[in-house]
Structure 1
Amino acid sequence: MNLNKVISAFNNSSINNIKKEDLTDITKKNDAAVKTIKNIFDTNLDGQLDTSELALIDKLTKLDGNNTNGISLTDLKLLA
């Protein structure tokens, strides 16, 4: 699952199809990023992600090979 699919599922009110059990290999370094992203979804009141929310999610999920603070796009399956 990639970030675009997660955002699409959220915006189409089908985020419940993404199960927490799908998440694998979350490490301590990823824990804060995962919690932050989950909080964005949990506290979103209008059902749409605005530019700042998308930017934060993007920053937390960069896969540039040098980013040890971000999480992988695969780990975004947490968002249920």
Structure 2
Amino acid sequence: MEKKYVLAVDQSTQGTKAILFDVNGDLVCRTDLPHRQLINEKGWVSHDLFEIYSNTIQVVKNLVEKAGIRKEEIACLGIS
């Protein structure tokens, strides 16, 4: 039987996380990348869309490599 995994991507104000679970809901692997906090003269915080996009792609690539799985084994993706 082929292994299947659930991939979760969590985007927070501090960074991007990719988390891999097995079919039983057990944590298999996690990877993270922070992103810059852009603060304007009024003190408002914003983020670079392209940095977040790039980090999202990278944390998933890092996760697949670190977990030692094939990307085809990912059955579904949840984004938070």
TM-score bracket, normalised by the shorter chain, equals 0.3 to 0.5
Name the structure with the higher helix share.
1
Q: Taking CA–CA contacts closer than 8 Å with sequence separation of 6 or more, which of the two structures ends up with the larger relative contact order?
A: 1
